[in-house]
A and B are shown apart, each in its own frame.
Chain A
Amino acid sequence: MNRRDYLHLAALLPTVPMLSAITGCAASNRSSLKPDSPKRLVVIRLAGGNDALSTVVPFRDDVYYQARPNIALPPQTLLKLDGNDQGLHPALIEFKQLMDEGWAGVIQNVGYPNASRSHSRGTQIWSTGTTTRPAPNSGWLGRWADEDVQSGLVAGFTLGDDQGLALQSHARRTQMVAHPETLRELAATEFATNAVRPASKLERIRQVENHLVSSAAQFARASKASGNRYPYPDTDFGAALRWAANLIETGSTAQVFHVTLGSFETGFSFDTHLHQLAAHESLYAELGGGLKAFTAQLRKTGSWDDTLVMTYSEFGRQVAENNRNGTEHGDAGVMFVAGGEVASGLHGQAPHLAEVRNSGLKPEVDFRGIFATVLQQWLDADAERILGASIAPVPFLV
């Protein structure tokens, strides 16, 4: 089955469980084709709680228009998906192009039972990959990195100011890089390598220094990659995505990258309690534009088939609009996925707007099942050990 054949078939598949019956085997076969190429994962946090119904709009559902008299998107503005009663937000035009080319998809109704509607707790649950309390002080991808504690190599970078927990690693195999330029400059600095006295504290600083220096060399190499030739958005998100692509292009030891779109600091985030239409117009364009440039760079430089991109957001939003042209915190949401081995198109059915819980969308797909797929089928890791539970993978890979 070639990619196009598969995509044609996948488009006919209405639900995730049916998709799984076909894709489970295919994914493992594809993964074994190029055993020497490291798989890359780029995780994008959509900060603030993205609204599923503005991402994929159920334009034939009257409940949607009744619930949102002021902020519903008119059917004629939407990016229609063939044979589907749902359409993408018009600002996702570049993301839609990736879908049409067979490189991207959207997984619907993702969440977990009794979802938290708190930003901090919701983010903590998604970042740690578990709802248990007390929450672990490592992220789900940090624990993946910790599986190989013997390796001295950096396994992941969190790029940007948002110092999320997803890559937090006990074995310090991941780094948070808020200011790549400062790290890059370290590569040009000569550091002492001899042990000195007094050993203890100065040596500890030198250890941190040495740890940074290996990353600094990677950032120095990455700064010479081809990213500037691609039209990334001129934003922190665009810059972080460009760094990720440049690092991948230049053979970074890091396999996982975490970037954030939306900021509570600037007040411009997916937390759209007010002025939702204007915020989405900009944020979705930034997301789609960034992913398009990222895809183009990695396809050109030969890493696209080994790269998987996925988004997450701490919760979805409520079905009904509020009285300020926005929406309140809800439950289930959507995840954007993209990559050389992603099954493109919509995954899962349109949400049942009549079956809401406290006005939030009902979760149909457990986010931990998606994490299990990523760990098991993409990163070739023991998902049960890392997630602390046996969770059925949710297939979305070819």
Chain B
Amino acid sequence: MNSLDSAALTPELGKHLLRRWAFAATPDLQAAIANKSVHQAVDLLLAQNIAAPLPSTPDFIPDTWVNPALRLTTTSLAELDENSARASAQSKRLARQVEQAWLKELLETAAPMRENMTLFFHGAFGGSYRVIGAGKALWLHLERLRRHALGRIPDLLESLVLDPAMMIQYEYDESRRELPSLRAANRILDYWLVGEGNYSHNDAEQLARALTGWVLQAPPGVTAPVNVDPRGSRNNRRTGLHVAFHPEYFDQREKTILGLTGRFDAPAAVRALAMHPLCATHYASLLIDYFGVEDANGRLRKALTDTYLTSRGDVQALLREMAAADEFWSDASRWRLVKSPVHLAVGAHRAIGLAAEDLSGLSDWLKASGQTLFDSPSRGEQRWPTDIGWLEPAGRLAARYQLGDAVFGRQIAWGVRTAEKPSAQNVAEIPAWIEELAGLDNGAIAMEVVLERLDPAPGLETDQLENLLDSQQDTASVITAVQHVVSSAAYQLA
């Protein structure tokens, strides 16, 4: 516990909490936590997020997934090529739709902390639509992450091990005892459980045996074709996304993984390992990195590890522990985190109060900035970077500096070709506060309002803002001023 726990948060510290936890210190959230202690503010924010309803399944997600690339014994090679090309195009289209559905939720949600933790888990686990293919699997994956985002990590991991998207990404959706998937076991140990370098080859082999027996197949009531061609790749043989256990494929022998022994199947193994102290430390470290806390002497990591173990991996308990830590509020932690592209864009939209209209421009901007949702690096094999890693390669910063244009709907010439696209501003609705500033005859106050709204790090050069907001400002100059702040070095930090 720290001294802030009983005293009221200052506005500055309140904004720090909201930037890190809720993408942006929006006026409504600032008002909600005004004059509250850390303890009260955290309680209130968590309660709001837990109470918010989960988004419903979009219409474009089919009830039953049918594999367009299914290879039957009667399928000619020409048909197979054609079907595979169609499947690839469909997967890309649906991935884009799922991405935009999530972006819309990120921009509009009443549960920004839940979405932020969903994003945390997505980034921690990785995955790519290029491998997973089925848009329905992406949506089921997102739903699963979201449902557990503020719950218990062991519950999430136990559920995740039978998640079609992860089974496809890690290649254990047809894992048999005679050919266990060592690759899947390594990835699960690396990304979900204990982190690289914290287990032996034997641990991975034993976990691979536990992962056997589960198969993706046609759901009950749907008859799968009997003439699926066994020569096809797994992507050409998958008949559905229903997870079924086949005892005959399962390796029932005893396994010993990281010192834990039992006749584990996949969920049991992952649940047991999720309570391993190394797993607790793994998540403590990931959370500290993700939320950009300076923990020079490792005290917070130890505290979060203990909290993980005593709370059985409760995300809310971990967040409370972090908020109770001096490290989170220290000068060394504040304004030191380079925002991820999603945090940058979502924070700007929410702070400005822009409606989520056509999101294709935002998708393009995110891709150029290095973060396409459902497409983590190396075809989903790697996790997202954090902090300064987002600025590698350096050209990413040039793309990030286009955010001011992107949020106001200007089309940008992404890619290597130079043909100029139309650069019209297509804002559906100018936020009311911008219109109000345009009519204000006091430039100094106008600048104060813009900076208060957008909340850039200290150090922003204001000369240009002073020129734009000079008592004569109109809507266009206020928008330009907003764009100037959003596209600055100071705005890159949270």
A residues at B contact (CB < 8 Å): 159-161, 163, 172, 175-183, 185-186, 189-192, 194, 196-198, 200-202, 204-206, 208-209, 211-212, 216, 223, 234, 236, 239-240, 242-243, 267, 274-275, 323-324
Cross-chain contact A198 with B336 (CB below 8 angstroms): yes
In order of increasing CB-CB distance, the 10 nearest A-B pairs are: A196-B459, A176-B393, A192-B461, A239-B417, A181-B413, A182-B398, A205-B489, A160-B416, A239-B416, A183-B398
**Are B417 and A202 within 8 A (Cβ)?**
no
| Contact indicator B489/A183 (Cβ below 8 Å) | no
Specify which of B81, B393, B401, B412 is in contact with A274 (CB 8 Å cutoff): B81
Given A161-B415, A179-B415, answer yes or no on A205-B336 (Cβ-Cβ < 8 Å). Answer: no
A194 to B393, CA, bound (A): 24
Interchain CB contact (< 8 A) of B397 among A205, A243, A274: A205
A205, B401: Cβ atoms closer than 8 Å: no
> Is A202 within 8 A of B399, CB to CB?
no
Q: What is the 8 Å Cβ interface bit string for chain B, positions 84-109, against chain A (1 contact, 0 not)?
A: 01001000000000000000000000
Besides A180-B418, A206-B489, A212-B398, 19 other A-B contacts (C-beta < 8 A): A161-B415, A161-B416, A175-B395, A178-B416, A179-B413, A179-B415, A181-B413, A183-B395, A185-B401, A186-B401, A189-B487, A191-B489, A192-B461, A196-B458, A197-B459, A205-B397, A208-B397, A212-B394, A239-B417
User: Distance in Å from the Cβ of B482 to the closest Cβ of chain A?
Assistant: 16
Contact for B490 among A176, A185, A202, CB less than 8 A: A202
Contact of A202 among B335, B415, B418 (CB under 8 A): B335
* Residues in A neighbouring B489, C-beta threshold 8 A: 191-192, 202, 205-206, 209
Chain B residues closer than 8 Å to A190, beta-carbon distance: 464
* Number of chain B residues whose Cβ lies closer than 8 Å to a Cβ of chain A: 38
Q: B395's contact among A179, A191, A206, A242, by CB below 8 Å, is which?
A: A179
A274 to B81, CA, bound (A): 9
Complex interface: chain A residues within 8 A of B70 (CB)? none
Q: How far is the CA of A159 from the CA of B415 in the complex (A)?
A: 10
> A324 to chain B: which residues have CB within 8 Å?
77, 81
Are A178 and B395 in touch, CB under 8 angstroms? yes
* Pair B492/A205 contact, Cβ less than 8 Å: yes
User: Which residues of A have CB within 8 Å of B420?
Assistant: 181
Kindly state whether residue B433 has any CB partner on chain A within 8 Å. Answer: no
The residues of A that contact B416 with a CB separation of less than 8 Å are 159-161, 178-180, 236, 239-240, 243
Contact assessment for A236 and B417 in the assembled complex, using a CB-CB cutoff below 8 Å: yes
Q: Mark B407-451, 1 if CB is under 8 A from A, else 0.
A: 000001111111010000000000000000000000000000000
**Measured CA separation A275–B77 after assembly (Å):** 11
Q: Which residues of B contact A180 (CB under 8 A)?
A: 416, 418
Q: Which of A206, A223, A323 contacts B418 (CB 8 A)?
A: A223
B493 touches A201 (CB 8 A): yes
Q: How far is the CB of B92 from chain A (nearest CB, A)?
A: 10
Contact B394 A208 (CB under 8 A): yes
| In the bound complex, CA of A201 to CA of B418 (Å) | 33
Report yes or no: A216 in contact with B398, Cβ–Cβ below 8 A: yes
User: With the chains together, A206 CA to B487 CA distance in Å?
Assistant: 13
Does B457 have its Cβ within 8 Å of any Cβ on chain A?
yes
Q: Is B362 an interface residue (CB 8 A)?
A: no
Complex Cα–Cα for A196 and B488 (A): 13
Shortest distance in angstroms between B388's beta carbon and chain A's nearest beta carbon?
6
Please name all residues of chain B whose beta carbon is closer than 8 Å to the beta carbon of A236 when the two chains form the complex: 415-417
Q: List 30 A-B contacts (CB under 8 A).
A: A159-B416, A178-B399, A179-B416, A180-B418, A181-B418, A182-B395, A182-B402, A182-B414, A183-B398, A185-B401, A189-B487, A190-B464, A191-B489, A194-B461, A196-B459, A197-B458, A198-B459, A200-B336, A201-B388, A202-B489, A205-B338, A205-B391, A208-B394, A212-B394, A212-B395, A212-B398, A223-B418, A236-B415, A239-B415, A239-B418
B12 at the interface (CB under 8 A from A): no
Task: Say if the beta carbon of B59 comes within 8 Å of chain A.
Answer: no
* Chain A residue at minimum C-beta to C-beta distance from B459: A196
Chain B residue numbers with a CB within 8 Å of A243 are 416, 418
Q: Please, which residue of chain B has its CB at the minimum distance from the CB of A177?
A: B395
Q: Does B33 contact A (CB under 8 A)?
A: no
CA distance A237 to B399 in the complex (A): 20
Q: Are B493 and A202 in contact (CB under 8 A)?
A: yes
The answer to whether B459 touches A202 (Cβ under 8 A) is: yes
Q: In the bound complex, how far is the Cα of B395 from the Cα of A177, in angstroms? A: 6
**B394, B399, B401: which contacts A211 (Cβ < 8 A)?**
B394
Inter-subunit contact B417/A182 (CB<8 Å): no
- A159 proximity list for chain B (CB < 8 A): 416
Q: Which residue on B lies nearest to A222, using beta carbons?
A: B418
CA distance A183 to B457 in the complex (A): 23
Tell me if B368 is interfacial: C-beta within 8 Å of chain A. yes
Contacts of A202 in B (CB 8 A): 335, 457, 459, 489-490, 493
Encode B455-494 as 1/0 by CB contact (under 8 A) with A: 0011101001000000000000000000000010110110
B248 CB within 8 Å of chain A: no
Roughly how many angstroms separate A239 CA and B413 CA in the complex, as a whole number?
A: 13
Do A179 and B393 touch (CB < 8 A)? Answer: no
Interface core residue of B77, B85, B337 (most chain A CB under 10 Å): B77
Which residues of chain A have C-beta atoms less than 8 A from B401's C-beta? 182, 185-186, 189
List residues of chain B with CB within 8 A of the CB of A191.
489
Least CB distance, B135 to chain A, in whole angstroms = 18
CB distance from B461 to the nearest CB of A (A): 4
Whether, in the assembled complex, B331 has its beta carbon less than 8 Å from a beta carbon of chain A, the answer is yes
Q: Are A182 and B368 in contact (CB under 8 A)?
A: yes
- Per the bound structure, the CA–CA distance linking A95 and B399 in Å amounts to 35
The interface residues of chain B lying within 8 Å CB-to-CB of A177 are 395
A192 to B463 Cα, complex, angstroms: 10
